[in-house]
Amino acid sequence: MKGRVLVIEDDQDISLSIRTVLSRNGFEVTSEADGKDGLRAFHSARPDLVILDIGLPSLDGWSVLERIRDLSDAPVLILTAHGRESDKVRGLHGGADDYLTKPFGNSELAARVEALLRRPRSAAPPAEVFDDGSLQVQLESREVSVNGQEVSLTPTEYRLLAALIKHPGQTLTPEQLLKLAWNDPFGVGPDRVKFGVMRLRRKLSQNASPGRDPGSSIEAVRGFGYRYVAPKALAGVAAVPRGAGSSTTRSSPRVDGTAGC
């Protein structure tokens, strides 16, 4: 068995032909025909690779891709419709590893899948809980608490926080944050980042104790962007290993020289 592949595709003919080709080539293949079911199958089966259609019922491929990338580095091959060139760019920015345009040939499909599985992946397993002594984030259930008290965040605020804590001490530009939290690859409206950070800080500071305030851990780096620096008293205790979740910025430039802790 060369690897476990999850196919999320609502077109039954395409799904069947992918399953046939890949099982003939030695892969173990499962499939789902709907975005939500696909995501559930991803969580329970933890496949080695995902083949993801974009137009899907209940939850589209973009949302599925984003949720997969929140917690996993598994390669994702997206299927785009013929003539939708912009989908390729959007997919690659969103963390997809490769794409295939429908209709595609059987040998091309098998070759792409094999190539993706040969690629070296980040060695660190995805961290499931972030805890730096004052801020706790359950990355699977998206629960956030400060000093044991639950904090209710909007999906955008959560994604903004997740982007920052997955890169502790690293400054992310407003453009990177727009891409990661707002899914806006063109970066229109950096003011949204400023106000988003303001709201997030306010919520995180509500139950914080002095010196252990995750709200003030989100620092503005003038002229560059924002970063999350673990509370001073606990510097160095960041629970997320460096590199975990780095796949989210695989296609983005990194800002160096501003590492904090």
Give the binding site for Ca ion (CB under 5 A). Answer: 10, 53, 55
Task: Give the residue closest to Ca ion by C-beta.
Answer: 55
Closest CA to 47 of 20, 61, 27, 19: 27
Nearer to Ca ion, 64 or 230 (CB): 64
CB of 53 to Ca ion, least distance (A): 4
Nearer to Ca ion, 53 or 98 (CB): 53
CB of 91 to Ca ion, least distance (A): 14
Sequence-distant (6+) residues with CB within 8 A of 171 are 221, 224, 225, 226, 227, 255, 258
Nearer to Ca ion, 10 or 128 (CB): 10
CB of 22 to Ca ion, least distance (A): 18
Whether 2 and 26 have beta carbons less than 8 Å apart is answered as yes
CB of 115 to Ca ion, least distance (A): 24
- Residue 5: both structure tokens together: 């592949």
Nearer to Ca ion, 90 or 166 (CB): 90
Nearer to Ca ion, 53 or 73 (CB): 53
CA distances from 43 to 26, 80, 209 (A): 23, 23, 35
Closest CA to 100 of 226, 7, 225, 164: 7
CB of 61 to Ca ion, least distance (A): 8
- Residue 261: both structure tokens together: 């802790």
